[in-house]
Homo-oligomer: A and B are copies of this chain.
Amino acid sequence: MSENPKIRFGIIGCANIARKVARAINLAPNSTLYAIASRSMEKAHKFAANNGLSETVKIYGSYDQVLDDPCVDAVYMPLPTSLHLHWAVLAAHKKKHLLLEKPVALDVAQLDHILEACESNGVQFMTGSMWLHHPRTAKLKDLISDSKLFGPINYIHSSSTGPGTKEFLENNIRVKPDLDALGALGDLGWYCIEAALWAKDNQLPTTVTALPDVTKNSAGVILSFTASIQWEPLDHTVATIHCSFLSHTSMDLSISASNGTMRCNDYIIPYAENSASFEFTSGAKFAELHIGWSVSPEEVRVISQLPQEALMVQELSRLAEGIREFGYRPDRKWPDISRNTQLVLDAVKKSIDLGCKPVSL
């Protein structure tokens, strides 16, 4: 495949996160950054200069220009969520593979429009959830799938919080009802819900219940919430998630099973780029007289040759190459993960709107 021309990316929107993904596109061996667009040429040029982009990268002053450029194979779209429906559907109609920043849509009805547009145009859809592509995540999955070391999962806990700064709470698009109306539920909750579904092999839960500690800003945007997710009566797994813009940065995932416990406290963005770890304990008993444990947590460290965001881009490009070179259908895996995440997210929102009543899925 390495002799095939690289997948050419256009970036629509020069958000802060686009800087990271622009770098990632050039790090991914099967991908290249071909074009960027902002709403003004000035902003786009500034972005190119600030990020040392190659002079060969096309600079556009409107999103339409990227979508109309036949050389663009795939677009990365870090726009505010309220703009996704329009631009993502348009990108699909223009036959561009789509790497859509999370939260992908305001609700599952919007997402279904986007997914249907991708499906009917034969383009690959993928959410910009980088952590799913880290080799640590695969290693974690191996562990929690090990029936002897780990066993049936009983409890999942994830919290995602940050940054708690005044500046963020006043100015960030994630607290603006016309831009990212889902607030902390969309921005942070996306990860926690995705992680819970990931642990459960993307199996949809049966009930979602928000807890009464929801905090909103004066515009009604969720700043902080806690919720529980249940897979009963299918099985006995329960997850709790806590997300807040009001606390210091944290991104914890812990999973308790019959035979083991796993903890990872930087699962969304690893502390360092090239190496990441998690810890687990299996078969722990108390020492004689209960004055200690028979085993201590074991650290598993995973080296990553490429950062997770480059692995994400590489995966999208691999699928895009398959479609281009071999006429494959788009892979349902990524849209399915995103749709289930959105369904649970919608259920949390509904539970909050209903005063924390349980919502069935």
Give the B-binding residues of A (Cβ under 8 A).
Answer: 16-17, 19-20, 23, 151, 154-155, 157, 159, 161-164, 207, 209, 211-213, 215, 224, 226, 228, 230, 232, 236, 238, 240, 242, 244, 246-250, 252, 254, 256-261, 263, 265-266, 269-273, 281-286, 289-293, 296-297, 307, 309, 358
Contacts and interface: CB of A to CB of B under 8 A. Distances in A.
Nearest to A308: B291
A161 to B, nearest CB: 5
The 3 A-B pairs of least Cβ separation, nearest first, read A213-B238, A247-B256, A250-B261
Given A20-B291, A270-B292, A263 B265 contact: yes
A300 B113 CA distance: 51
A213 B242 contact: no
Contact of A164 (B228, B238, B259, B309): B259
A357 to B, nearest CB: 11
Contact of A247 (B20, B155, B246): B155
A224 to B, nearest CB: 7
A177 B170 CA distance: 53
13 contacts: A155-B244, A211-B238, A211-B240, A215-B236, A224-B236, A226-B228, A244-B256, A247-B258, A249-B293, A250-B281, A266-B293, A269-B290, A271-B296
Contacts of A297: 265, 271
Contacts of A209: 211-212
Contacts of A289: 19-20, 23
Given A240-B226, A265-B263, A249 B285 contact: yes
A238 to B, nearest CB: 4
A359 to B, nearest CB: 11
Residue among A157, A228, A283 facing the most chain B CB atoms (10 A cut-off): A228
A163 B284 CA distance: 9
B242 A269 contact: no
A248 B261 contact: yes
A23 to B, nearest CB: 6
Given A236-B246, A273-B292, 4 more contacts: A19-B289, A155-B247, A249-B284, A269-B293
Contacts of A254: 159, 250, 252
Nearest to A240: B240
A246 B258 contact: yes
B256 A228 contact: no
Contacts of A16: 290
B258 A248 contact: yes
A242 B240 contact: yes
A209 to B, nearest CB: 6
B164 A159 contact: no
